[in-house]
Amino acid sequence: MAQRAPNLRPPHIPPDRICLFLDFDGTLVELAERPDGVVVDSALVELLGQLASRLCGRLAVVSGRSIAQLDKLLGGVQVAVAGSHGEEIRHSGMISAPGRRPDVLHIIEAGLANAFGNKDGVIIEVKSLGVAVHYRLNPAVGPAVQALAARLGADHALKVQTGKMMVELRTTGHDKGTAIAAMMQTAPFAGHSPVFLGDDVTDEDGFAACAALGGVGILVGEERPSAARYRLDGVSNVREWLSAL
């Protein structure tokens, strides 16, 4: 679909008509210089619990982080979760996830570590189903990181997922859009309009999936071409909008 830069604040949407999908970093919590530096406050935990109850379970966190990471960060919040950019899904007591490719991912991890492991400000993050390199603290290495990631991805048939000051190598075939589409086929999500909030280019697949399913995407952050229909300025605005549902 043609993309334009959305700048309309989302209206109030009757909660009985929708199901809600929420990105994590940059949407529910402020971005941090390090992946382990994000802060999950008690107000967010309480808000998610209230939303899950108000929406009768039609709430999911859809993130590039693994389910294990999200569980650790969100504590006892009982919501559906899609992790690893849609490769892992857990909801309604069901869990689906492809097998990890440890042989390949060990090669990827070693290649990235040899090239950038000693660079100041570069963080190599080993995930459940991939390996990510964060260079927010050293943006100058970005082109070199992306070039090596592209080569390793081509050599080992892995998806190269770019984002804000990061690049990740992971297995192919899944994204946030496929995760949303899969959950929309089952209770309690089926029969409702999907709404997805996200801030990064990694969220565009989710925005497009929602549009195709009769719902909408809400971009968080500065204006840019996007498949989202609406936009909110930042995390505080997201919390405010969610609280009004």
Rg (CA), the chain: 18
**Residue of 16, 23, 36, 233 with catalytic role:** 23
**Residues 80, 49: Cα–Cα separation, whole Å:** 12
Q: Is 233 a catalytic residue?
A: no
Q: How far is CA 24 from the centre of its chain?
A: 6
Locate the DSSP E strands across the chain: 18-22, 59-62, 80-83, 88-91, 94-96, 123-126, 130-134, 159-163, 166-170, 193-198, 216-220, 230-232
**Residues 27, 118: Cα–Cα separation, whole Å:** 31
- Residues tagged active-site: 23
